[in-house]
Structure 1
Amino acid sequence: MKSFNVLVILLLVSQHALCVEVSEGAESVLLPCLHGVSQMDGVLWLSSSSSTVHARKRSGDDLGQQDPRYQNRTSMREDAPQSGDLSLTLSRPSVRDTDNYTCIARSKGQDLNRSVVQLIVTRPVETESSSVWWKVLVPLGAALAIGLISVFLWCKRRRDRQGRHESHNLEQLSTSVLKVEVESGAESVQLPFRTTADLSEEDKVEWMGGGDMKVHVYQNISDQPGEQHEDYRGRTQMSEDPLGTRDLSLTLEHPTVRDNHTYTCTISRDGRVLGRQQVELQVKVLKVEVESGAESVQLPFITPADLSEKDKVEWMGGGDMKVHVYQNISDQPGEQDKDYRGRTHMSEDPLRTRDLSLTLEHPTVRDNNTYSCTISRDGRVLGRKQVELKVKDQTVEVESGAESVQLPFRTTADLPENSSLRWLIDEPFKKVHYFCIDNDVPEEQHEDYRGRTQMSEDPLGTGDLSLTLRLPTGTDRNTYTCRVYNQNQKFLREKTVRLEVKDRILVEDETINNRRSSSTDPTPLMADQSHQ
């Protein structure tokens, strides 16, 4: 009894998905995916159920979330994200693998482009009488092939005619991404898109942001604000008569880092895409650095907006904390978060001078944040600026075996007499030195530091809160924090100092290496053997 396999190849013509058919028992099948996306940092293949088939970054495969069904069965080119060839090889395909597979090009967590491949895996046909089936299948296969070829040629001619008619429109389906940078605090930024397509009043223009947010919709010869995501309402506009001028650029007012996305503008007519452009927006935030223990730091913001006495100025920190509020021509300390009360101030008459900079006194590492200043009038935003604050630890280095080392902290000499201060380390927590009102409290110290610490006389009166640590060793490497409180345990001052204790052996090795590199003798360490 003879048996054989009959393989019928079916070619489907579709503008939306590529169809690949393979017979079960094949060694492997290739799911093609080619993208010309720039700045791609990874690719993700998903099944129709959104399970992960394969994931790859520039550094290599990332298969931690791979569906167990596909383990040890998928592979891609090693340079896939760099070359743009994102095709996936699936080994040992079975009928269970019949599915729609989506290839997604990604960058910085954003989807840049995606395409769908339909995979059909068929079982081989087994027969008992090869001669009988051969007589039946050969004519049937020939007829089917002729029919399919006719359908294919008809589709091809139709698509060619359509392609010639819409050549100008299709040239806009570019996957290139424009990059636009702007500094936080700017009044607006433009996402450019000028098309050469022939547009009509029937066309729809849709700007989309990250997470499928509708940023701006233009349809029926007018804007459609009701379709916008709430984050963009009242903040976007296009030019007058964009379809007539073919200028589909979008202006976004008061951009912030939350607006950092890759935006896609799509032109469509009756659901058919005529053109597309992607624009990556990067809003840069001003960075301000200051050393822990500084008296104050300024978060700068000078606005070009025309301000009036009706305007409200609000500085916000992380977690929607109100850092400073200026309204009705005066500060509003009652609205501040308690961590900032008594620590912030603005210049005199900020609305007239347009200088809305904020001074923050006695900054600590706990103040590290991105701060946002918003100007509003009757609920309408007039301007916005973001400033990232970085409070750095001071670093002190000393050799192991040194007599002592000082952890410096000098502040103003106006601390209340009944204040207390603590030098400590957090990991593991240990009290290094405790000073209360007028005296040291050695019994509060951790045993590792008893008899080894000392402060100047009257530290609260002089403002010199520096700590001297005797006989430092490698076990003293840590970050030390000094905190000052008043009698009600309200925080007044703070400073952090990173202590690095270098082992003497390492220091000696560095000294020897320095001597070697500076010596003019090519063999300075070799003994003179001329007299042996």
Structure 2
Amino acid sequence: METLLLAVLLLQVSQHALGGVVEVHEGAESVLLPCEFNGVPPKDDPHFMWTREDLSPKSVHLQRAEKDDLTEQNQRFRGRTAMNPDALQTGNLGLTLMKPQQSDSGGYSCSISDGTTEVKFAEVQLKVKANEGVEVGATEGAESVLLPCRAAAGLPTGTTVEWTLSEPPRVVHVFPKLSQIQDDVYCSRTEMKEDLLTTGDLSLTLRQPTVRDSGSYVCTVHTGPDVLRQRVELQVKAPFPVWIPVVSVLAVLVAVLVTGGLFYHFFFREGELTPLDV
């Protein structure tokens, strides 16, 4: 009876569970598969599980008694998965998958169990794309540089876009704008187009780029349960020093003068002394 009641409660939760598609490029540091619940977990030995039905063994990650139990984990995920240790209290059962590979693409299930009954309440489709990160170059002192990011036109209301720097981790820009979480380094230096939801152009303008701005930037788009990530490599070079051409010209002039002096000495001066010696 208790097990049946648990199943009913969990099924109620599953009707509102997160799911959808998560896209990421191969080579990213990590990707988060979202999963949340607000139901009543089993009292005895609750199991939180991530599985892939097309694999054997199917276990991707298992957490029980607020500790990871990876004894039956599929070897391909060894050392690459993590869950919040306070999942039982917070209801955040998201799975972090490190160093995603194209072979990680597939359907992932988020489940809860009391050891007897297992109920799935989230399905996440992970798509790991080939590493096609865009490379952008700029020179320090330029007015601005554009970091490109595009999605399908006509994005739904409620879509959020977050630009971040991978290393060191920094929040570069957020749409809708939440200035309180933007890193001070980028304050008043970033801008996105106002009609981005209509056009799907999520590019970021970074004003007054400096060498310190060089790095790997990630554009993360949340459209309900679906997530899209695009990476942009920015390389900002130091400006060409003004003194280098000046020094080069001076060096040429010195070389001409020295060469001319030697030519005069050996061909004209030596020629004048020869008749006197005779």
Please state which structure has a larger fraction of its residues in helix: 2
The structure number with the bigger radius of gyration is 1
- TM-score, L = length of structure 2: 0.48
The structure showing larger relative contact order (alpha-carbon pairs under 8 Å, at least 6 residues apart) is 2
- TM-score, L = length of structure 1: 0.27
Please state which structure has a larger fraction of its residues in strand: 1
